[in-house]
Every structure is written in structure tokens, then in C-alpha cells.
Amino acid sequence: MKHYKAYLIDLDGTMYKGNEQIDGATQFIEYLNKHEIPHLFVTNNSTKEPAEVVEKLKAMGVTAKPDEVVTSAIATAEYIAEAHPGASIYMLGGSGLEQALTNHGLVIKNDEFVDYVVIGLDEAVTYEKLATATLGVRNGATFISTNKDVSIPKERGFLPGNGAITSVVSTSTGVQPTFIGKPEPIIMNKAMEILGLDCSEVAMVGDLYDTDILSGINVNMDTIHVQTGVSSLDEVKLKDVPPTYSFKDLNEVIKELEI
């Protein structure tokens, strides 16, 4: 396997499932840190702030820093702030999305008369929240969704993801949102800005073909698929553009890098 100057690494399904660490995750980050190889955690999960992600990783024995975490919430907030500084927002989502939006000078409102409707994963979603979001889009608000993930891996199994929640509003209004997170280039370009490297020098590591692997393919980046989450080896083999590599887990990636 090629040795890269840096790695972009997914979290859910790659480093952990819910609160369960995936075997090889700690060892892989230890290997990168030992060899001083830059890496960023690029996640579609918009519910957590970078510091919270770091605490979760540290609880699993993984060394990380907040500036090594790029969330779809941060990428979403930057995207809106650049296009429309000070815009008003109706949002569904967790504290990570709320904090990112307000940190970028955006104004969160609790009604349908806003500039943007933004949907992130909301584990306390209600019919009323979806109704307000739907009315906002019908009133002409720009429709943004942090990511397309229709399912997310948890300890109980694969649960509804942000894409599933977003589909309620898009189906009701007939309006498709602009997606920010993987596999869209928007979040990947943000990560590459931080690294300051060319895509040919970096690999994307993840479990889910339709987000993690496609995100690398969409920016002409090599991809490393790990068989620890959603997409199986048999599934990725059938794709028109398969991942550059596929491994059972991150332990196997380390073995390849040590050759």
C-alpha cells in the first residue's frame, strides 16, 4: 500500500460504533502520532462539538485534539457565513450544530420566517420541528442539510441518520437541500485547506462507501475502506469505482504501512 503524507479519518463505523471502540482504532492513531503523520477526523456527525469528540476519543484511549476534528456542523456554518453573513437560521440538530452556527455569527430563530433551514442529526426530533422546517422551506428559506447519511451505526444496530430526517422535509416540500458533509466536496475542501496538501498526497479512511469512500473519489483522493461499519467488502467490490484499498480493520492497515 502507498504511504501517504496525511490521512482523513471517519469516526462512526471506523473508530467506534456508538460508545464501543472498534479494534485497531487506538493502534492506528498511535502509529500516525509516532511517525508524526498529520491526520484529521472528518465526520458527518453534527451533534457534537470538536472538544466533545476529543473527549469521547480520549475515553477510548485515542489521543486527539479539537483542531484535528472537522465536523459537518463546522463546514455548514462556514458555508453559510461566507454566503450570507449574519443570516437567520431555523435548525434541527444538536449542540454541535448550534454552537458552530452561533460561533460564525449566524442567528438561530425558532420560527419559519428565516433565511436558511438547516437540518442536522436531531435525536429528539418531533413532528412540530419537522413542520416548522417544512414551512420555512415553503416560505423560501434556503434548504441546507449537514449530510446524506440515511443510517448511523450504534450499539443497538443501524439507526436512522440525518439523511432520513432530511428526507421528510424534502419529500414534503419537493425541494432538495444542499448537502455539506461527505461525500460532498465542501467538507473535503475544508479539510484539505487545513492540511495544506494536495489530494494526491492524502488518503480518506472510512467504512461507508456512499459517504466516506465517495468523498475521496469525488476529490480525486485515494480511499481506504475498512470493513468495520456499514459497507461490506462484497458491496464495495461491486461499485463502478471501488475503493483504492479495502481491509478488515485498521490493524490490517497498520500491517501494510509497516511493510
- The domains located in the chain, with CATH, are 6-44+182-257 (3.40.50.1000), 77-179 (3.40.50.1000)
User: Coil, strand, or helix at residue 226?
Assistant: strand
**Residue 190 assigned ligand-binding role:** no
Q: Which alpha helices (H) appear in 62-159, and where do they start and end? A: 72-83, 95-103, 127-138
pLDDT of residue 65: 95
Taking the CA atoms of 109, 55, 66 and 148 in sequence, report the sign of the dihedral they define: negative
- 101-128 tens-digit pLDDT: 999 999 999 999 999 999 999 999 999 9
**Cα 100 from Cα 163, distance rounded (Å):** 20
H helix runs in the chain, sequence order: 25-34, 50-59, 72-83, 95-103, 127-138, 162-173, 185-195, 214-217, 233-237, 250-257
Whether 71 contacts 53, CB under 8 Å: yes
- Torsion over CA of 190, 162, 253 and 242, rounded to 10 degrees? -90
* Residue 17 confidence (pLDDT): 86
Catalytic residues: 10, 12
Q: Is 207 annotated as a binding residue?
A: yes
20-21 and 88-92 strand pairing: unpaired
Is 12 known as a binding-site position? yes
CB 203 within 8 A of CB 8: yes
pLDDT for residue 155: 74
Structural element, H or E, at residue 118 = strand 116-119
Contacts of 67 (CB under 8 A, 6+ apart): 50, 194
Q: Give, in order, the Cα–Cα distances in Å from 191 to each of 58, 151, 204, 232.
A: 22, 23, 11, 26
Structure-derived torsion over alpha carbons of residues 161, 17, 32, 72, reported in degrees to the nearest 10: 20
Q: Are 1 and 223 spatial neighbours (Cβ–Cβ below 8 Å)? A: no
Each residue's pLDDT, cut to its tens digit, for the chain (259 residues) gives 999 999 999 998 899 987 889 999 999 999 999 999 999 999 998 998 999 999 999 999 999 999 999 999 999 999 999 999 999 999 999 999 999 999 999 999 999 999 999 999 999 999 999 999 999 999 999 999 999 888 876 778 888 999 999 999 999 999 999 999 999 999 999 999 999 999 999 999 999 999 999 999 999 999 999 999 888 999 999 999 999 999 999 999 999 999 8
122 annotated to bind ligand: no
For the stretch 159-198, pLDDT in tens is 899 999 999 999 999 999 999 999 999 999 999 999 999 9
pLDDT at position 20 is: 87
Q: Report in angstroms the alpha-carbon separations of 227 from 5, 144, 213.
A: 23, 30, 12
Residue 158 is predicted with a pLDDT of: 80
